[in-house]
Structure 1
Amino acid sequence: MEGRVFLRFDGSVAEAGLVVPYALVPAQGVLAKPSKWRKLEREARAQLIGERSNERALRELHDSVRAFVVEMIEECDEFGLRAMDFLHTLADLQTSEPAGVVFDRIRQRLGHAVERQREEQHAERTRQSINLAEYPASFDVARRLPRKFIALLGPTNSGKTHKAMEALAKAGSGVYLAPLRLLALENYERLLEVTQHGKPLAVSLVTGEERRIAEGATHVASTVEMLDTRTPVDVAVIDEIQMLADRDRGAAWTAAVCGAPARTVYLVGAPEARRAIEALAERLECPLEVHVLKRKGPLAMEPSAVRKVKNLRPGDALIAFSRRDVLMWRDMVAEQGHSVATVYGNLSPEVRRAQAQRFRDGSADIVVGTDAIAMGLNMPIARIVMTSTVKFNGYEEEEIPAALARQIAGRAGRYGIHEEGLVAGMDPETHEVMRSLLKEKPTPLNTSGFSVAPTLEHLHRIAAVTGETSLAKLLKRFIHNIDVPDGFFYPRITEDQKDRAEWLDTLPLTVAEKFTMSLVPVATKVMALQSAWEHWAVSLSKKRVTRLKPDEHMLHYMTLQEVEDTCRMYSAYAWLGYRLPEYFPDVELAQQLSREASERVDSMLQDQNASARRRQPRRQR
């Protein structure tokens, strides 16, 4: 059998009330390969069999089987398993492998069974430790307050955010929750201009990377992830509420709706969020008012595509979907003699604001940007011109959804400045796709499956009942094992966090440290940022303090991309510094360096714009 000629001994062992039969090959039971066996004389074969099948060999095998049976019975008793479920293999397994190999296979099977059993026990304990149906109850202050929801829903330029901010400004205390640092900053400054009882409002700004804390502050402008769920206020404004459906960040909006500690909570966003808001209000047993606002000025498609760059005009916003394309179109527009403002996601909020201001005050005729224009930048755009309707979604190129097309297009026609907003495609195909997207009926958000991200408390609970210390395994248990009774709330983590967790598990860090490092806002696909993040994690694992060592001339030798990434790196350091100040103490320096890098980016963009415009006369000559 299996290319071998071998001996097999039959027998049985009686132990602890069990009779275990066996048919096994002893340690020296393999005699030869068939080809060699056939060449042996009859007497030589008999002699070899006699040498290998003596009493001693029989006794040694029998004793080894007995010892193995005792071992297996004890192991199975410890884990509540039936020994014969594994030991029957000693007689059933038809193989030429020696007994020792068979024992190891059975041990391996037992190990897998124990692991499965342990996994089932841990899964059950995890289910018992976290029940997502009880998620809203984890926000103590919000749960105790008599809360009321007011939904202000409408398209871009319907005045919904303005109306909510007016209510916030009049309130005795309140919080504004933004999807972007840029929006938090804009509304922070807006609130600073408000006076109550003859005094300016005391307002704080709180984002992941920056804190401007005012003494005795009654109002806070914050990014949504930075919501303080412990301090009760009169009014909370949750902006862009349709972000509940966002694949990566939706959990922050779920937490804000469930946990905003305000007596009146304004939910501001697109009309397609209505059903989701109604479902949440019912689940949270909060009364809900819904106000649907209409756009203040009409929005219309141009009769035909723009077709050529020379047909662009002052007041246009040209939209592309990648940094490379934005800079390419910027150069082509500038070469036509236009001054250009540039806005894309890789730019810091400060640079985006500076560029937008150039368009607002007339220093730039045309703005060229990504869909970053669609959220958080109020600019007097007369016409939106789409260069494409295809965008990379993180996995593949796909046509933009109708909701995003409407949000971008809605930036055209600023109320009080333009009579109407106009939309066009650069080429005829893009023009017609935009026309059909704007006609498409919005798809309502789902009314269940609201994302919940793991908190450190969740992971500590799972660790306490399972003994697990691997962040990747704790996150996996959160996703797969916690109790989700009706699916109304659903556990989610990002792919970035999952990938980072596996790498962080190779370092000697606590669960809390690994969890914090897994959330650092850096782009892992940018090599310089990924390297910085890895360096920070390794330093933390060695309990080393990471200081910043700035080189004041360094920025002047960098490309635009490198300066942008440097700015993001300093922002990420500041984010870490607020959470682990003992090991990342240079927060103020990081913020200063980030501002300097932002100023350098803005200067480089203006220089490149001017350079492209200078090429224009030569082209005409």
Structure 2
Amino acid sequence: MLAQAILKYLNFRPTYRRILRYKKTAPPLSQLMVPLPVKATSDPYSNVGAELTGKLDKEEVMKSLAKFYQRREIKAAAIENGIDNYIYHQTYLSFRRFCLDGDKLPVDLHITLSDVIAGACHVDSLLPYFIRHAKLSFPHLECLDDLKKISDLRLPANWYPEARALTRKIIFHSGPTNSGKTFHALERFFSSKSGVYCGPLKLLASEVFYKSNHRGVPCDLVTGEERNFASNNKTPSSHVSCTVEMVSVNTPYEVAVIDEIQMLKDPSRGWAWTRALLGVAAEEVHVCGEAAAIDVVKEIIMSASEEIELRRYKRLTELIIEDTALESLEKIRPGDCLVCFNKQDIIWATRQIEAMGKECAVIYGSLPPGTKLAQAKKFNDPDHSCKVLVATDAIGMGLNLNIGCVCRVIFNSLIKPTVNEKGEKEMDTISTSQALQIAGRAGRYGTQFSIGYVTTLKNEDLPTLKRLLSQHPEPITQVGLHPTAEQIELYAYHLPHANLSNLVDIFVNLSTVDDSLYFICNINDFKFLADMIQHVPLPLRARYVFCCAPINRKIPFVCSMFLKFSRQYSRNEALTFDWLGRQIGWPFACPNTLLDLVHLESVFDVLDLYLWLSYRFQDLFPDSSLVRDMQKELDCLIQTGVAQLTRLLINSETRTPKLQWLA
């Protein structure tokens, strides 16, 4: 039966640490360079060499060039000119082809070859022409010093003159989950004359936006997809709540709050926190996060010649690790949150719990924000029959879901797929930081569940959980950086024939980073999108913006629509609401199977992509308001599907004999 196959699949745990690794060995710079073809001149007077010395014997030319290529002195001279073995060989092949196929060689080269063949001069006399050819074939040889200067990332503090012109006061609010650190920082935000809040998620930014306006402090919302104004006439407010990538480093504020500062270490998004910390132009900068980030933040602030004030907070409620594991889902009780690290476990656990007559709220990462909030609201409602939450670690960043009714957190497993700083995929035990943040969601100050409890589903995981929760998170030593559009444009000026993916590779290869403090964030997603639309004719700046789009490259439908968006844009044709509706098959019905639900989630991601692009290309993505209305309708359909997850699973068993939806 399918259910047994699912159970077997979900209970399988690999004994090795890494299940999939994308080996990233940085190739030498020269191998990133694509040689340009060098063509013979079309000047009608370019056959003067042949008139002076006669036609060249091609067989003798080949012999002379082969002798030239093999000389150690020539190889040594080439290295002195920045030509390594790879470029040396590629240039030789191109130079030989140029000399043999070109009927009209440059006069000086023709005469020199003639003299070499006649024995009138040494074969080494070809060196200046060989080096000239190498620089034409590999243009970076002429501008290597300029490229290195552009990619010198050792002093990122100097990139933000507005912030450096201020005497900023940096205040670090350090503490675990449920300690009130963000509360105190936000109180200063609300009382300021002007301020900006930088959060890691749209839902967090939205919550601060609503909370600020509810308290009578007009506040705008800025995310990657939209800008919502507090005032009806759409005049900018003095306060802004935004996702961290969207914070302006040119606008002056009295107070800035940067939440979840430990995300500096994130291998993909860490650059955004580094940029906010160094670049936000605020008189007071309040950063909130775990103690593991204190030392590295101090180092960064010192590099900007600024000082930091440290405020430490303790957890407001007690957190108790239970002595026994749950062992069986039959022991689930009201107020429990079962934390899983993949959608398969979520679906399996939900079915098992609901089979016992207990209603579940379900939250996982790919659900739309509205659906997550609806599920959290259902779980929080004391009058609702739903008393159990099954969620991924999406609940770890607590403010965004406002879950106040978790009494006990139960880890279904302690193994989670991760991506390391090299972009390599791994299956590994969760970190101390992750364990503390997720477990910290148990219990909430000022609620009926003031004491929090935490345990595991399996007995064998409990000792590991106790060990993780008894430790302090490992101190963060490096934070992320990322090449800017301006830097890539300068590279394109020097290397006009290189494509965007190639330019980024060259930039990373040539970059100089203070690796005691910084690393370059992985650019796999950026390069994937750059390669996907390489054949689409786009201006460099537009191409760069498209490649920064936050999409999940594992979802084929989203990638397909991304390609359609770029093609339509390249033709300068508006992507209207009607055009979009035809592409995605709008309208949709309520999902009947898990595959239907997964597809609706991917469609929601496509609408998010449209809104993200409309914020940057308003002229060709004109119907953002209509698309937002479409998203609201789609969100309702997804909410209906999630509320009937068990029914969808049963339908999937009868209609889909294979485990396709587990992929």
| Shorter-chain TM-score above 0.5 | yes
Distance 2:297 2:587 in 1: 51
Distance 2:170 2:128 in 1: 60
The equivalent of 2:89 in structure 1 is none
Aligned runs of 1:473-484 on 2, under 5 Å? 473-484=502-513
Distance 1:470 1:555 in 2: 42
2:619 partner letter: E
Distance 1:233 1:299 in 2: 38
Distance 1:368 1:280 in 2: 39
| 1:602 equivalent in alignment to 2:639 | yes
The equivalent of 2:545 in structure 1 is 516
| 1:457 equivalent in alignment to 2:486 | yes
| 1:429 equivalent in alignment to 2:460 | yes
| 1:241 equivalent in alignment to 2:261 | yes
The gaps in structure 2 that reach 5 residues or longer are 1-48, 50-55, 64-98, 420-424, 651-663
The equivalent of 2:77 in structure 1 is none
Q: Secondary structure at the match of 1:313?
A: coil
Distance 1:223 1:184 in 2: 6
Q: Deviations over 1:466-523 (max 9, x none)?
A: 3355211221232122443676444434211012212322221111111111011221
Summarize the Cα distance change of 1:431–1:126 in structure 2 as closer, same or farther, 3 Å threshold: same
Summarize the Cα distance change of 1:223–1:526 in structure 2 as closer, same or farther, 3 Å threshold: same
Distance 2:520 2:467 in 1: 35
The equivalent of 1:368 in structure 2 is 390
The Cα of 1:290 is off from its aligned counterpart by 0.7
Among candidates 308, 317, 332, match of residue 328 of structure 2? 308
Distance 1:76 1:347 in 2: 72
Among candidates 360, 365, 377, match of residue 401 of structure 2? 377
Identity of aligned residues (%): 29
Conserved in 1, the CA contact under 8 Å of 2:296 and 2:517?
no
Among candidates 568, 578, 583, match of residue 620 of structure 2? 583
Summarize the Cα distance change of 1:249–1:539 in structure 2 as closer, same or farther, 3 Å threshold: same
Distance 1:86 1:412 in 2: 85
Larger Rg: 1
| 1:502 equivalent in alignment to 2:531 | yes
Among candidates 207, 215, 220, match of residue 204 of structure 1? 220
The Cα of 1:458 is off from its aligned counterpart by 1.4
Distance 2:160 2:175 in 1: 29
Q: Secondary structure at the match of 1:554?
A: coil
Summarize the Cα distance change of 1:181–1:85 in structure 2 as closer, same or farther, 3 Å threshold: farther
Q: Deviations over 1:148-187 (max 9, x none)?
A: 1000011100110111111111111101100000101111
| 1:127 equivalent in alignment to 2:148 | yes
Summarize the Cα distance change of 1:159–1:581 in structure 2 as closer, same or farther, 3 Å threshold: same
Summarize the Cα distance change of 1:26–1:177 in structure 2 as closer, same or farther, 3 Å threshold: closer
Among candidates 429, 434, 442, match of residue 404 of structure 1? 434
The equivalent of 1:324 in structure 2 is 344
The equivalent of 1:443 in structure 2 is 474
Distance 1:112 1:305 in 2: 71
The equivalent of 1:56 in structure 2 is none
Distance 1:86 1:593 in 2: 76
The equivalent of 1:47 in structure 2 is none
| Equivalenced residues, count | 536
Distance 2:134 2:326 in 1: 67
The Cα of 1:288 is off from its aligned counterpart by 0.6
* TM-score (normalizing by structure 1): 0.79
1:384 partner letter: V
Summarize the Cα distance change of 1:523–1:72 in structure 2 as closer, same or farther, 3 Å threshold: farther
Aligned runs of 1:509-548 on 2, under 5 Å? 509-548=538-577
Distance 1:290 1:118 in 2: 50
Among candidates 165, 174, 190, match of residue 195 of structure 2? 174
Distance 1:70 1:510 in 2: 36
Conserved in 1, the CA contact under 8 Å of 2:157 and 2:279?
yes
Distance 2:487 2:170 in 1: 27
Structure number with greater CO (CA < 8 Å, separation at least 6) is 2
Conserved in 2, the CA contact under 8 Å of 1:306 and 1:427?
yes
Conserved in 2, the CA contact under 8 Å of 1:468 and 1:474?
no
Conserved in 1, the CA contact under 8 Å of 2:186 and 2:257?
yes
Q: Deviations over 1:516-564 (max 9, x none)?
A: 1101122111111111111111212222222233366424367111111
| 1:556 equivalent in alignment to 2:581 | no
Summarize the Cα distance change of 1:126–1:86 in structure 2 as closer, same or farther, 3 Å threshold: farther
Among candidates 233, 238, 244, match of residue 224 of structure 1? 244
Summarize the Cα distance change of 1:206–1:238 in structure 2 as closer, same or farther, 3 Å threshold: same
The equivalent of 2:418 in structure 1 is 393
Conserved in 1, the CA contact under 8 Å of 2:60 and 2:117?
no
Q: What's the Cα RMSD here?
A: 3.5
Conserved in 1, the CA contact under 8 Å of 2:152 and 2:513?
yes
2:441 partner letter: R
Q: Secondary structure at the match of 2:154?
A: helix
The Cα of 1:611 is off from its aligned counterpart by 8.5
Conserved in 1, the CA contact under 8 Å of 2:432 and 2:468?
yes
Aligned runs of 1:414-425 on 2, under 5 Å? 414-417=444-447, 418-425=449-456
The equivalent of 1:287 in structure 2 is 307
Distance 1:391 1:595 in 2: 32
Farther off after superposition, 309-318 or 333-342: 333-342
Distance 1:486 1:391 in 2: 27
Conserved in 2, the CA contact under 8 Å of 1:315 and 1:381?
yes
The Cα of 1:407 is off from its aligned counterpart by 0.8
1:568 partner letter: D
The equivalent of 2:316 in structure 1 is 296
Distance 1:243 1:415 in 2: 25
Distance 1:216 1:503 in 2: 37
